[in-house]
Amino acid sequence: MDLQKLVDDVLKDVEVYRGHGEVASYIPALKAVDPRKLGIAVAAEDGSVYCAGDAEEPFSIQSISKVFMLNLALDHVGATLWNHVGREPSGSPFNSIVQLEAEKGKPRNPLINAGAIVVCDNVMNHGTADEAVSEILDFMRERAGDASVAIDANVAQSENQAGFLNRSLAYFVSAFGNLRNPVEDVLSIYFRQCAIAMSCRQLARAALYLAFDGNDPVTRDAVTISSRARRINALMLTCGHYDNSGDFAYRIGLPGKSGVGGGILTVVPGFGTVVVWSPGLNSAGTSLAGAAALEKMVERTGWSVFV
Ligand code: DON
């Protein structure tokens, strides 16, 4: 398959959606992004990355970071993580608080905000918040093979200032005894992981190990154990898009994770990864043109976990 032609063709397919949807505005620093940006990157087993449009431009990865933090938390604490967070789709928006009361401060899954905050607590474990942030940043740099990956301090500060809902979630979870570290320390990790800036190219390369049973196919690093990589993919498929997860699985049929910066990471097991970026979002916080691009891509290739 000519992958360069594929990404070029898909970019043309979705030109009509460029600028559609709403750019996230509840984090002030995110609303400054040009809504007409549109990038696509496909990373293949040999590490080649095929790019089209704005695929080289760093964007705020936001909730996509939750996938990699989950990996680190499982590496730290193993299955005991599941005493603190569930593995079921929430059917609710990413920042919803409603289930937390009935479920006694145990978030439904690690990919909604409340769950991701619990994940941060487990990565922090007995260390400091700064150490946990260094760990995720070093992980992303190493996996991307690019030491220039960085946190956008402006976005991190904006997240913190606008973080009323996330604070509510974190204090609520803590009230049930489900955080062992100081709430503001845990939140400071979460705000900074969401503010990591990466391009489609860097992110596609970084996630490649998830398509190959936890092994980086280029460096041969055993990044994580195979069962863990498969389970992270299962959680992405069932929970990666909040109350839009069913629709995403139906339309695209691949494990994926959205972020309100407009990025979507998808994993094609045994083949590679696809990352799209376009800042206009649907009502569930998933990139509108990005999801359309993924739909066109699977139409053209037949990629699906259901073949
Ligand atoms: O916590 C927040 O609201 C953001 N930092 C991340 C939310 C997000 O990306 C939801 N994904 N679509």
The CA-atom distances, in angstroms, between 38 and each of 58, 139, 197, 267 are 12, 26, 16, 19
* Alpha carbon of 62 to ligand 1 centroid (Å): 5
Domains and CATH numbers, the chain: 3-58+198-301 (3.40.710.10), 63-194 (3.40.710.10)
Which ligand 1 atom sits nearest the alpha carbon of residue 286?
A: 12
Exposed e or buried b per residue across 162-181, where buried means at least 16 C-beta atoms within 10 angstroms of its C-beta: bbeebeebbebbbeeebbeb
Rounded-to-integer distance, Cα 180 and Cα 174, Å: 8
* Alpha carbon of 1 to ligand 1 centroid (Å): 35
The CA-atom distances, in angstroms, between 207 and each of 84, 99, 191, 203, 255 are 25, 30, 21, 6, 12
Residues contacting residue 182 through CB under 8 Å, at least 6 positions apart: none
Q: Give me the pLDDT at residue 97, please.
A: 94
Rounded-to-integer distance, Cα 207 and Cα 272, Å: 8
Ranges of residues in the chain whose predicted pLDDT is under 70: none
- Position 157: which residue type? Q
Contact, 301 vs 50, CB < 8 A?
A: no
Residue whose CA is at the smallest distance from ligand 1 atom 12: 259
Q: Give me the pLDDT at residue 126, please.
A: 81
Structure tokens at 91: 């059917």
Rounded-to-integer distance, Cα 135 and Cα 73, Å: 11
Active site residues: 63, 66, 190, 242, 260
Q: Give me the pLDDT at residue 227, please.
A: 97
Answering whether pTM is above 0.85, one says: yes
Contact, 268 vs 212, CB < 8 A?
A: no
* Alpha carbon of 261 to ligand 1 centroid (Å): 8
Strand partners for 257: 265
The CA-atom distances, in angstroms, between 43 and each of 87, 190, 207 are 28, 27, 9
